[in-house]
């Protein structure tokens, strides 16, 4: 009987371990994104209630038989229900049990494919986003990033832009004039704001000198002003950050940029959708909010970097060093990234419940006549500053 050489067996074992690690990181990122998206349904209800002086969701709960846990489990469920957290579960159950309706004049295959396209590419964009530093464990280097792509920024922008085709397709194949209007609005909004969004990031690319998102995060690990100010991108690219956040918020199709939906007017591209197909569009909106928050954190707010924290410990501005272990360093990185993403989700929800919807002409005016010229001016200013600093050896 033929036997494999020992070296080949060891190589196969190492490959299986690497594959298992990569699958574990991928699963952790996927579950994190989906849970963030699901919790936003609760956050949106509670935050809007707080801003509008209402109680908000507080009565969704259920009980389980005594032989599945009895009083303690039911007590916990009632407490969670009193906070409204179980409303997200009730939403899922409602959508799963609703009828899957396809209009007679619509295309069944494309009608089903449209929401799948939207949610798939929105989730896939997280592949290149680093959520933490490299973890050293059992003699292995484990990057806390699903795929370390050299042109990671272009990869994320490309996938995020492909997702809009699901919205356009949904509007066109539903056989409904109002749905078609919603799809066309989505197409024109994408054209107006994705150009400004992409151009706004050129300044950051010039400053960091790379398209690798992990390298961009590492570049923000230092300090300015004698060690007091973290070297985050927002301090060197404030205009780029503002334009990016505005354009990215428009890409999520949320208030005040929800013209493709326009619920009081046309109901939008998902007029002819029900059940979990509508649920996928609903999920995509929340996933895109998480994506925008994660990108803003990565590009302009240090990503997983914690202020004053280096691999060997905290370097406080007055010169002292507080040592930390490697696992603590990684833990601080994961916590920092999570807190920043949650903060931006809250901020975008705050905008959603504060500003009214723009008129369509106001939407186009803001995209083409305000954000686009600002992003071009940011490139010019950044280029001049970068050249001057390079000539003096400071960049």
Q: Is 273 exposed, middle or buried (0-12, 13-18, 19+ CB in 10 A)?
A: buried
pLDDT at 144: 92
CA 129/CA 152 separation, integer angstroms: 8
Please, which residues bridge with residue 223 across strands? 230
Q: How confident is the model at residue 23 (pLDDT cuts 50, 70, 90)?
A: very high
- Of 66-70, 172-176, 223-227, 239-243, the poorest mean pLDDT is in 66-70
Residue 212 reports pLDDT greater than 90: yes
The first and second tokens of residue 380, run together, are 């010019």
Residue 1 reports pLDDT greater than 50: no
Residue 174 reports pLDDT greater than 60: yes
Q: How far is CA 338 from the centre of its chain?
A: 11
Q: How far is CA 80 from the centre of its chain?
A: 26
CA 314/CA 258 separation, integer angstroms: 43
42-52 pLDDT, tens digit per residue, is 888 888 888 88
The 3 state secondary structure assigned to 292-304 is HHHHHHHHHCCCC
**Cis preceding-peptide flag for 259 (omega within 30 of 0):** no
pLDDT at 92: 87
Domains of the chain, by residue range, sit at 31-97, 101-391
pLDDT (mean) for 244-272:
85
Find the DSSP H helices in the chain.
Answer: 6-51, 70-83, 87-97, 108-124, 152-162, 164-173, 177-200, 202-208, 213-219, 233-236, 238-251, 275-300, 326-352, 360-365, 372-391
CA 281/CA 273 separation, integer angstroms: 9
Closest-CA residue to 294 (of 250, 339, 332): 339
Q: How confident is the model at residue 129 (pLDDT cuts 50, 70, 90)?
A: very high
Please, are residues 358 and 259 in contact by the beta-carbon 8 Å criterion?
yes
Residue 2 reports pLDDT greater than 60: no
pLDDT at 261: 81
Average pLDDT, the chain: 88
pLDDT at 395: 63
- Helix (H, G, I), strand (E, B), or coil: what is residue 325? coil
Q: How confident is the model at residue 58 (pLDDT cuts 50, 70, 90)?
A: confident
């Amino acid at each position: 009987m033929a036997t494999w050489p020992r070296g080949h067996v060891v190589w196969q074992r190492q490959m299986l371990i690497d594959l298992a690690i990569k699958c574990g990181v991928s699963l952790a990122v996927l579950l994190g994104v989906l849970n963030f998206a699901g919790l936003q349904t609760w956050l949106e209800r509670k935050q809007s209630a707080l801003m509008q002086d209402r109680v908000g969701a507080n009565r969704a709960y259920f009980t389980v038989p005594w032989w599945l846990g009895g009083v303690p489990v039911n007590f916990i469920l009632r407490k969670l229900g009193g906070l409204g957290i179980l409303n997200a579960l009730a939403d899922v159950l409602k959508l799963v049990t609703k009828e899957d309706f396809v209009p007679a004049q619509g295309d069944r295959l494309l009608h089903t494919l449209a929401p799948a396209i939207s949610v798939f590419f929105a989730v896939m964009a997280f592949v290149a986003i680093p959520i933490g530093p490299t973890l050293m464990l059992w003699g292995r280097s484990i990057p806390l990033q699903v795929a370390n792509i050299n042109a990671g920024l272009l990869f994320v922008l490309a996938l995020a832009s492909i997702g809009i085709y699901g919205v356009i397709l949904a509007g066109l194949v539903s056989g409904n004039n109002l749905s078609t209007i919603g799809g066309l609005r989505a197409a024109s909004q994408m054209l107006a704001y994705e150009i400004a969004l992409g151009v706004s990031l050129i300044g950051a690319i010039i400053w960091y000198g790379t398209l690798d998102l992990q390298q961009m995060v590492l570049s923000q690990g230092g300090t300015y002003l004698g060690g007091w100010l973290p070297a985050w991108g927002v301090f060197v690219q404030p205009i780029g950050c503002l334009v990016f956040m505005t354009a990215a918020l428009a890409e999520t199709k949320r208030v005040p940029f929800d013209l493709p939906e326009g619920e009081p007017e046309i109901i939008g591209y998902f007029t002819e959708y029900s059940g979990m197909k509508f649920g996928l569009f609903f999920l995509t909106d929340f996933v895109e909010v998480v994506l925008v928050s994660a990108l803003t954190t990565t590009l302009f707010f240090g990503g997983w970097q914690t202020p004053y924290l280096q691999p060997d410990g905290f370097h406080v501005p007055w010169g002292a060093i507080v040592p930390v272990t490697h696992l603590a360093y990684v833990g601080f990185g994961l916590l920092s990234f999570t807190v920043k993403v949650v903060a931006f989700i809250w901020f975008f929800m705050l905008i959603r419940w504060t500003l009214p919807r723009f008129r369509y002409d106001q939407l186009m005016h803001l995209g083409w006549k305000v954000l686009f010229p600002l992003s071009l001016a940011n490139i010019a200013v950044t280029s001049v500053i970068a050249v001057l600093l390079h000539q003096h050896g400071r960049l």
